[in-house]
Homo-oligomer: A and B are copies of this chain.
Amino acid sequence: MARYVMKFGGSSLATVEHIRAAAEVIARQRRAGHEVAVVLSAMGDTTDELLAKAMAVSGRPNPRELDMLLSSGEQVSVALMAMALRELGFPARSLLGHQVRILTDSVHCKARIEKVETERLEAELHAGVIPVVAGFQGIDSLDEVTTFGRGGSDTTGVALAAALKADECQILTDVDGVYTTDPRMVPQARRLARVTFEEMLELASLGSRVLQIRSVQFAGKYNVPVRVLHNSGVGEGTLISYEEPDVEAPVVSGIAFSRNEAQVTITGVPDRPGNGYAVLRSVSESHIVVDMIVMNAPRAGIVDFSFSVPREEYDQAMELARTAAVEIGAGDVLGSASVAKISVVGVGMRSHAGVATTMFEVLAREGVNVRMVSTSEIKISVLIEEKYLELAVRSLHEAFGLDQAPVAAN
């Protein structure tokens, strides 16, 4: 007998029929003899609809009240799911944040979980009841309702799995696992049987969007194995854990990409301490999220300083960069809002210096100019002209053997 936390997202709960289907999937695990706790998001687009109502009432809705409003969505789905499970003959009980006691800090709309109490949950499980827990929400020390931000139900699922020492946190969604790249772009993309937390972090943050990034961090921190599964419950999905792929596994696990990029370059920045900071400060104070940052070694006392931002913030970032350039006595500010990012990810590349070589070789062969590069332990990201994106992703996917090889060895 295993103990699972099963988390269903909004698209898996879009209608009453979806809820009944999800209840069947949960029931199957119970019939197989497993203990199950369930975590749910709000049904379908409920959260967006509630948000639209809030915006119709107030241009800048109070965060505490927004939490009160949005947390109602999960309350609906857990109650309906408990009814659906009872209809299938399984005792089930819906539970809100204040009932489980999912304790958080007091930062409304992006609270962090401090503790999940297990007394009530263990009592329900012990009694053979399926606890159906509202995701995305907790309470602070004053019993105020808090929420965790977008994708926060994943975090609830992982936190519950950690607190309950579950064997797996299963994330049931509308894809059947994590892929080597987006199958809509590369039909040869393959489902990964396993990835490590580190790889998943790089893949998720780069747009694979199967899992909320914070939940993966959380899972890694508490070593909770997470399995991404199709919401039909069919198949093995993708297991995210600490275990390294075995030696036969490929060097590169997946290729993530993002179209929504823009690049800003300040040329001729005098090589003085604090100049990079002067540029970035004005950008980040405007709440623009800076992703890649690149600065070469100085030449003749000056450097070029580049960074990438979300495309919708390009104009504002260029404006700020121009102002900063004048202040610090730099040269022209160049930029492009038609760039895309490709990231090649794999824990195997730590010991394989050749990955970057292969990557540049492939891109050069296809005539794709690399505008910016940044690297981490297990990732190489490049910024290229957007029009070459498909060509580049497909060529890299093939070059790293992701098309053919059975991915991972389990």
List chain A positions with a Cβ less than 8 A from chain B.
Answer: 16, 19-20, 50, 53-54, 56-59, 61-62, 64-66, 68-69, 71-73, 75-76, 78-80, 82-84, 86-87, 93-94, 96, 98-99, 143-145
Contact = CB atoms under 8 A, between A and B. Distances in A.
Nearest to A50: B76
A110 to B, nearest CB: 17
Nearest to A87: B58
Given A53-B16, A75-B75, A143-B99, A86 B68 contact: no
21 contacts: A16-B53, A16-B56, A53-B76, A54-B79, A54-B80, A57-B84, A59-B87, A61-B83, A62-B86, A64-B93, A65-B80, A65-B83, A65-B93, A66-B83, A69-B75, A69-B80, A69-B83, A72-B73, A72-B76, A72-B79, A98-B98
Contacts of A59: 87
A80 to B, nearest CB: 5
A79 B83 contact: no
A65 B86 contact: yes
A20 B57 CA distance: 7
Contacts of A83: 54, 57-58, 61-62, 65-66, 69
Contact of A98 (B16, B62, B87, B143): B143
Residue of A62, A99, A143 contacting most chain B CB atoms (<10 Å): A62
User: Which 8 pairs from chain A and chain B are nearest by CB?
Assistant: A69-B79, A68-B79, A72-B75, A72-B72, A16-B56, A58-B83, A65-B82, A58-B87
Contacts of A94: 65, 68
Nearest to A142: B99
Given A58-B86, A84-B57, A79 B66 contact: yes
A55 to B, nearest CB: 9
Contacts of A145: 96
Contacts of A87: 57-59
B62 A82 contact: yes
Contacts of A99: 143-144
Contacts of A86: 58, 62, 65
A90 to B, nearest CB: 12
Nearest to A91: B62
A195 B20 CA distance: 50
A138 B20 CA distance: 28
A104 to B, nearest CB: 15
A92 to B, nearest CB: 8
B62 A80 contact: no
A98 B68 CA distance: 13
A287 to B, nearest CB: 22
A75 B96 CA distance: 13
Contacts of A98: 98, 143
Given A58-B86, A65-B83, 18 more contacts: A20-B57, A54-B83, A57-B83, A57-B84, A57-B87, A58-B84, A59-B87, A64-B93, A65-B80, A66-B79, A68-B96, A69-B75, A69-B79, A69-B80, A69-B83, A72-B72, A72-B75, A99-B144
A53 to B, nearest CB: 6
Contacts of A16: 53, 56-57
Given A16-B57, A19-B57, A58-B86, A79 B65 contact: yes
